[in-house]
Chains A and B, each alone.
Chain A
Amino acid sequence: MGSIVLVARLVLADVRRHQVQAAMLLLAVTVATATMALGLSLRGVSDAMYEQTRAATAGPDVVALSGDTGPAVTSALAELADAPEVTAHHGPYQVVYADLTTRGSTSSPVVVQGFAETPGPLNRPLVTSGRWVRPGGAVLERGFATALGVGVGDHVTIAGRSYPVAGIAVTAATSIYPWAAQIGPYGGPSDYTGLAWMTRADARALASSRDLPVTTALDLKLRDPAATESFIDAHRVPITFHSWQFTAGQDMVILRNSQPILVVGSWLLGFLAVTGIAVLAAGRAVAQTRRAGLLKAVGATPGLIATVLLAEYLALALAGDALGLVIAHLTAPAVASPTASRIGGAAGPDGATVVAATVLAVAVAVLSALRPTLRAMRTATVRALSAPAHQPRHRPWLTALSALLPTPLLLGLRLTARRPGRAVLQACSTATTVIGIVALLVIGAQPERGYGLDGSSALPNLRGEHDRRVMLAVTVLLIALAVVNTITFTWTTAMEARANVAIARTLGATPSQISLGLSTAQLLPSLPGAVAGVPLGIGLCAMFTVGKWTLPPSSWLFGAALATLVVTAALTALPARLAARRPVAQALSAEST
Chain B
Amino acid sequence: MQDAVLAMLAKEPAHGYNLRARLQRSLGPLGGSMNPGQIYVTLARLEKAGLVVCERADGLPERPDRKVYALTPAGQQRVAAWLAEVGWPKPDLAEFHLKLAAAAAARLADPVELVAAQRRELLRRLREVQRAALDEPAGPGAGLLLEGVVLRLQADLRWLAACERAWSANDDDEAEDA
Q: Do any beta carbons of A and B sit within 8 angstroms of each other in the complex?
A: no
